[in-house]
Amino acid sequence: MNKITIIGSGAMGSAVAKVIYDSGYKNIVIYGIDKTELSQLKEGKNLKYFPQDTKLPHFQTTDNLKYALNNASYIVIAVPSKFVDSVCKDILKNLNSQVIIINVSKGFYPNSNLSLQEGLKQASKDNEKVMGVVSLLGPSHAEEIVKEQLTVVSLVENGMENAKKVQKLFSNDYFRNYLQEDEIGSEVGGAYKNILAIASGMLFGSGYGINTVAALLTRGLAEARRFNKQMGGKEITLMGLTGIGDLIVTALSPLSRNYSFGQEFAKKGKEALNTLLTVEGLTAIKSVLEIAQRKKIDLPIVFALNEILLGNITLKQAISEIWKRGLKAE
């Protein structure tokens, strides 16, 4: 059977490996650098991320990248976005077979304003062994996937040629996918929802209610539409799994690191920035603002959130400034 290599032994890497295994593809190798995680995954668990009673398949694991990639057919990249560039370079050096790269990370490509999918495509375009790059995006917390909660995602690729080839890898009794060819719109939705999740966590953590958060997410989605239009994405994509679907699951759940970070910031202020957890929304804010300033896109919520994180204004001051904006049609 085709060999599937998972790059990353964390929560999402483990969850995606389980999905593929339960879809009938057993020839899986998980590569990672945390020896404890790798050892536990051999025993069908990953206690750093999941409870003791979580049952995973007994996976083959390795910390040898060359071995992990040997004769692979599919490579799943499941690492934080800030590591994707270095991981991609190491993968490209060690390929000895033709592969399809499947990206499950979200955010922007390191040291650029490119989406992760576009960055991976650019980085691998001269490597004849890479057949294409597909992104798996949509509302999918790893903690719920491993519990086999019903989950639906999008497989994103312009033209969908390779996406069609990997559909069956992610199709079983609890996991389903749809094809989506709007790479830009899907990536914008995936990045923007992390930003809004930070703001949502801040509001809830500061005592605001669902009325306020609903207003934030609705007006935040309006900003995302403006941003997406300037980037060249399709507006309808933001109404789908990689847009509003991902926004719901990220901005209203304590399982979201971005949401949880926002709550912590409401309590601790800038001290929360010292967290060891990966908060993709922080990187997304920087990239979105850089693009918005260059393209002159009006994004008051993202701008205000950035000022709060920098310590230049408080949450109440930010809300007051937005409230003073001129009245207009929706």
- Where does residue 183 fall: left (phi above 0), alpha (psi -120 to 50 degrees), or beta otherwise? alpha
Main-chain dihedrals φ then ψ at residue 321, nearest 5 degrees: -65, -40
* Tens digits of residue pLDDT in 213-266: 999 999 999 999 999 999 999 999 999 999 999 999 999 999 999 999 999 999
Residue 329 located in a structural domain: no
Domain boundary among 180, 196, 213: 180
* 255 and 137 both lie in a single domain: no
Tell me how many degrees the CA angle 294-298-301 measures, rounded to the nearest 5.
115
Tokens of 295: 């393209």
Same-domain pairing of 11 and 29: yes
> SS3 of 297, please?
coil
Residues 24 and 46: their CA atoms lie apart, in Å, by 21
Q: Residues 173, 23: contact at Cβ < 8 Å? A: no
One domain for residues 97 and 151: yes
CA–CA separation, 151 and 265 (whole Å): 30
314 within domain boundaries: yes
Q: Kindly state whether residues 148 and 220 are assigned to the same domain.
A: no
* pLDDT tens digits for range 118-172: 999 999 999 999 999 999 999 999 999 999 999 999 999 999 999 999 999 999 9
Q: Is 229 annotated as a binding residue?
A: no
The answer to the question of residue 328 being in a domain is no
Take residue 170 and report the two structure tokens written for it.
Answer: 């992610």
155: β partners: 136, 179
Q: For residue 70, say whether it is annotated as part of any ligand binding site.
A: no
The per-residue pLDDT for range 53-98, each reduced to its tens digit, is 999 999 999 999 999 999 999 999 999 988 999 999 999 999 999 9
Whole-number Å distance between alpha carbons of 135 and 157? 7
Catalytic residues: 193
Confidence of residue 9 (pLDDT cuts 50, 70, 90): very high
Of 129, 151, 180, which residue is a domain's last? 180
Contact 131, 240 (CB under 8 A): no
Q: How many whole angstroms separate alpha carbon 20 and alpha carbon 36?
A: 22
Specify whether 195 is located in the same domain as 74: no
CA distance 330 to 221: 12
CATH of the domain at 265: 1.10.1040.10
Which residues are CB-neighbours of 255 under 8 A, at least 6 positions away? 141, 143, 144
Q: Is residue 160 part of a domain?
A: yes
Residue 272 sits in the same domain as residue 216: yes
Residue 256 in marked binding region: yes
Question: Do 212 and 90 sit in the same domain of this protein?
Answer: no
In this structure, are 56 and 142 located in the same domain?
yes
193 and 47 share a domain? Answer: no
Contact 315, 266 (CB under 8 A): yes
pLDDT in tens, 257-291: 999 999 999 999 999 998 867 899 999 999 999 99
Q: What are phi and psi of 133, to 5 degrees?
A: -125, 125
Residue 226 in marked binding region: no
Kindly state whether residues 159 and 263 are assigned to the same domain. Answer: no
Residue of 124, 118, 140, 99 whose CA lies nearest to 14:
140
Range list of H helices, 237-278 = 246-251, 257-268
158 occurs within a structural domain: yes
User: 30 and 83 share a domain?
Assistant: yes
Residue 330 lies inside a defined structural domain of this protein: no
Give me the domain span that covers residue 310: 183-323
Residue 127 belongs to some domain of the structure: yes
**CATH number, domain containing residue 161:** 3.40.50.720
Q: Of 180, 204, 221, which residue constitutes the final position of a domain?
A: 180
Measured distance CA(84)–CA(190) in Å, rounded: 16
Give this prediction's pTM: 0.93
> Does 176 lie in the same domain as 188?
no
Total domain count, the chain: 2
On whether residue 48 sits in a domain, the answer given is: yes
